[in-house]
Chains A and B, each alone.
Chain A
Amino acid sequence: MSAASVRAEAKRLLALSLEGGAVSADLVGAVLAALTKSRPAHQLRPLLRAYLTNIRRELARGEARIEHAGPLASADADAIAAHFSKSLGRAVRPVARRNDALLGGFRVRVGDDVTDLTASLRLANLAKSLS
């Protein structure tokens, strides 16, 4: 299989793994079971790798990864997730992780989009504007 056909097949498998716009563990298991039976091993490895990449990307699209300095209330995390769910038009769940190097505020990553409201970024912008 060529790389283009592998990517197309992985995209098709990803579509089969979604339920209500979100990745379903059951559907993913069914897809993997069907793949192991229908494909020879030498074709399975690149296809599985592309499928895994798609699944991770899709899961990331459904998560708001919040890096924050200091404590972040769960209500604030939910508010952040609700904000991105509303703006992106799909359900996004918050995944918070503390990082005091950010000094203050938080940085949110949803899929490939990054929103940075940290004090460290403001200081870096300040330094850039001064130099």
Chain B
Amino acid sequence: MTLLSAFLAAEPAHEAAHAAVHAAPAATESSGPLGDILKLFSNFGVDGPHLTVQVINFCILAFVLYRFAIKPALGQLEERIRQAEQLQQDRAAAEAQLAAAQKTAEAKLVAASDEAVKILADARNSAKQAIEAAKAEAQAAQIDVIAKAKAAIEADRVKMMNEVRGEVSRLVVETAAKVLEQNLDDAQRARLNEAAVKQLAR
């Protein structure tokens, strides 16, 4: 901008140049096609030195802009792009790791599921075997208890029958003895004694 200010400050020189340009047609008109062109540009307001200064000014501005604004911005942009690419790569790697982890997790899940199914089947088999063993044991115990109960009942029955039979026999014999003792007279007893003597002699 300082340079531009310097050019603007040199306006009198510029005005002088302008006057020279306006004064030029007279010369150019007499210099052929180039003069025509210059005249044409002059008619459109294009001033050669001014244009040169503008061009230089533009170049300087472009250089300054490129050096201090565009280049850092491009650098930052490239850095952003590089970061974005890095992020994308990281993301892809993370996605790959995630996919691998998911795959591993799924595999582990499947293995764990298989293991769980196997353990469950083993547990069911064990429980089934335990239940069957318990059933068999209970049935054996039941059969044993029933057999013992039957034996005890039979023993009680036999014992009771024997007791009843003994009691009945005792009552019958006691009754018979009492009847005999009351009804036997001496003659009958004497005959019994004689029979016993004969039995002894045999």
Contact = CB atoms under 8 A, between A and B. Distances in A.
Contacts, number: 83
A131 B56 CA distance: 154
A131 B169 contact: yes
B200 A104 contact: no
Contacts of A126: 169, 173
Given A70-B186, A80-B200, A123 B173 contact: yes
Interface residues of B, number: 26
B192 A76 contact: no
A68 B180 CA distance: 15
B193 A72 contact: yes
Interface of B is mostly: helix
A126 B175 CA distance: 13
B150 to A, nearest CB: 25
Given A80-B197, A119-B180, A104 B169 contact: no
A103 B177 contact: yes
Interface string A60-98: 000000001111110010011001000000000000000
A117 B196 CA distance: 6
Contacts of B170: 127, 131
A51 interface: no
A101 B193 CA distance: 14
B184 interface: yes
Interface in B167-202: 168-170, 172-173, 176-177, 180-181, 184, 186, 188-190, 192-197, 199-201
A105 interface: yes
Contact of A124 (B162, B166, B173, B194): B173
B157 to A, nearest CB: 16
B128 interface: no
B192 A69 contact: yes
28 contacts: A69-B184, A69-B189, A70-B188, A70-B189, A71-B189, A72-B190, A73-B190, A83-B200, A101-B181, A103-B189, A104-B180, A104-B184, A104-B196, A105-B192, A106-B193, A115-B200, A119-B192, A123-B177, A124-B173, A126-B169, A127-B170, A128-B169, A130-B165, A130-B168, A130-B169, A131-B162, A131-B169, A131-B170
Interface of A: 68-73, 76, 79-80, 83, 100-101, 103-106, 108, 115, 117-120, 123-124, 126-128, 130-131
